[in-house]
Amino acid sequence: MLYAILAYHAEGAIADLTPDEDAALMTHLVMINERLESERKLGPAARLDFTRTARTLRGEANAPIMDGPFAETKEQLLGLYMINCASMEEAEAIAREFKAINKTAVYEIRPVSYYSPGAPMD
């Protein structure tokens, strides 16, 4: 089963990291990524750019595209991991590994279904 682990964080806390602090954080997270990759459990993973670079389309397809997500939240979606696990419990354990490294982040775990045109949805 595929699971998405969505990484939320107070964007300012990440922006305020020094280059050395950010590099140390990423080094530790990459260690988990490398292990998951060797176990063939890690799919695409991405670190998203800051929300100030985002563009949002709401309403009709031809509506204007606006700057930013305009989310009224304290935490923003800053990254994601796609993982292939046997169970939700295994996905939760992996999220706990990320949390142990990035203690102030919030991790949301969601099952993911593939969408293939013409194929039935599970």
Q: pLDDT tens digits for 18-27?
A: 999 999 999 9
Q: Give me the residue spans of the domains in the chain.
A: 2-112
CB of 45 within 8 A of CB of 80? yes
- Is residue 7 very low, low, confident or very high in pLDDT (cuts 50, 70, 90)? very high
Q: Which pLDDT belongs to residue 37?
A: 94
Of the candidates 122, 113, 114, 43, the one whose C-alpha atom is nearest the C-alpha of residue 80 is: 43
Query: Domain 2-112 carries which CATH code?
Result: 3.30.70.1060
Q: What is the C-alpha separation between 17 and 45, in angstroms, rounded?
A: 21
**CA 110 from centre of chain:** 11
Q: Which pLDDT belongs to residue 58?
A: 77
Q: Which pLDDT belongs to residue 5?
A: 95
Who's near 106: CB < 8 A, 6+ residues apart? Answer: 7, 8, 9, 75
